[in-house]
Structure formats: C-alpha cells, structure tokens
Chain A
C-alpha cells in the first residue's frame, strides 16, 4: 500500500493542531484534508471519497460521537479513528461501540497514529485503492 494514495480527513476545531498534523502526515506522503467542525466534516464525506477519517471527540456544535454516527450513516465502510483527552476515554470506548475503528489520546504520538491508520486500512483492505 503506497501512502500517497491514502486520503485522510482530519476533523478537529483546533485549527493549529489539525493543520500541523496534516503537514506532518503530508511529509509522509498521505493526502490530507481538514475540517474545523463536525458539520463541515460530514459535508466533505458526502462530497468526496476518503480512505480514513480522524475525528476529535470534543468539538463545539456537533460533537465527535454525533459526527461519527453521521459519517457512518453516509459511509459505513469509512474507518474512523477518534481523538480524545485523558479524561474522556469512556467516550472513546463509546465511539468504538458505535463503529469507530479505535481511539487515541491527545497529545498524539505520530508513529502510533500512523500504525493505527495502517491497521484500520488493512482491516478494510479489499476496498482500499492499491
């Protein structure tokens, strides 16, 4: 699987966080698009195909769990990795119950995120572009 073919959607209201994370992932030849809130992220999932979505749980307006539910309604096969704080692992577990592939705790380790992305994509391998 070549990284340059993998398209990631990052949804988080912390603009500086997702723009920097996107830049780091792009240096590793992933394609990244960002959304600053759940509603915009959902609209992007409706309009264009992504291989994976990374969604923050604590967002103003539509929260991460509701964003996840709506993403899964539009595209049940899209793997979603949730981002959460230390105190919100319960929400991360709840997210997995409703269809998230996994969750990671902020601040992130980029290598742990990349491992998780690879695992998520391997799990849906037949549908991933090669």
Chain B
C-alpha cells in the first residue's frame, strides 16, 4: 500500500467515526422531536406543564444542532486538507481537529486523547494529509502498546530548540525499555519514520517519562 492509498484508509476511518457520531446527533434530535409530538398529542389537559416540557425538548434539539454543526464543520475542514499537496499547516489547529473527529475511536479502545492549549502555535508548509496521517499513526502506535492505558497528552513544541509536537503518556508502571522495544517492533512506527523522512520531519521516541513520540519540523522547512 503506498502512502496515498494508506491515506485513503485513514480518511475512511475518520469519516466513519465522525458520521457515526452525527447519526447519534440526529437520533437525539429525532427522539426529541418525537417526544414533542407525544406531548402535543397528550395535550395541555393531560400535561399542565406542556410548554415547559416542549421548551426542554427544543433546548436539547438546539444543543445537538450545535454539536452537529461542529462535527460537519470539522469533517468539512478535514476533507479540504486534500485540496493541495502543499499547504500551510498550523500544528495546533490540525491536531485539534483530528483529535476532535477521532476521539470516539480512541475512547472505544479505552483511551482519552488530551490536547494541551497552545498560545502561539507554529505553522509550516507541508502535505496536510500526510502530516495528519503521521499524527494518527502516532496516536494508534501509543494506544496499541500493551498495558498502556493512560490518557495520551498532545503538546505543541514551540521553543528555540525547535518546533513540532509531542504525543506522550504518564504510566509509572510501564518500563521504558519495554516501551522502546514495543515501539521499535511496531509496523506503524516504521511507517511514521518513512513518511517523516519524505516530509523532512524528524520522529523520535521519548524514552523517559512521559514516554511517547516526538515529531519535529526540520529547520529547512518554512516555519512561522
């Protein structure tokens, strides 16, 4: 499978997860609309608090509509990352959207992904699809390490030493040598290294606590 075919599989997973969540949004809207119908059929004689009940349903519909808009906007932005092979990528914003759209996939595996706020996130020119694929594979890599059940914290690196992103977890019971061995044996880690090389990014394992993966942007790339 080449990088772009693999990227299509990645897009499929993200889209499936997001549309599943959208189905839940629509299911809640539909049930609340149905509940309002039920109330109206019962009428004010049987339901003295009819107006209050209907207002409560409308509030829930409104709330779910906002949730639906966030999901469709996120999915639309994600879809448009295929528009150009090279585009400016804000590391924090692209990670934020990907984590928002895929949180359910990782929650189903029992893991929460937490993005740490970043006030001054760096941007650089790259292939946005492949960059997201690297982030996705990195998260999958860490989630799939046996006995690793801690939350994964995603932090943007923006210092004089360089710009990039750290994906780490705190697990005092997990041996660092064991983590390193698992990472080196992972096919996804090999993929990450191959793609990073093509994109002038530098991946490295973070072998000391907090353990994880660091992806750094090489200085030759245009960084803002």
Residues of chain A at the chain B interface (Cβ within 8 Å):
14, 16-17, 20-21, 23-24, 27, 58-61, 63, 85-88, 106-108, 110
Contact = CB atoms under 8 A, between A and B. Distances in A.
B60 interface: yes
Interface residues of B, number: 24
Contacts of B24: 14, 17, 106
B30 A87 contact: no
A108 B27 CA distance: 7
B19 A21 contact: no
Chain B interface mostly helix, strand, loop or mixed?
helix
B38 A86 contact: no
Contacts of B16: 87
A87 B23 CA distance: 10
Nearest to A14: B24
A94 to B, nearest CB: 16
Given A59-B108, A60-B107, A60-B110, A107 B35 contact: no
Contacts of A61: 107-108, 110
A60 B149 CA distance: 13
A63 B105 CA distance: 12
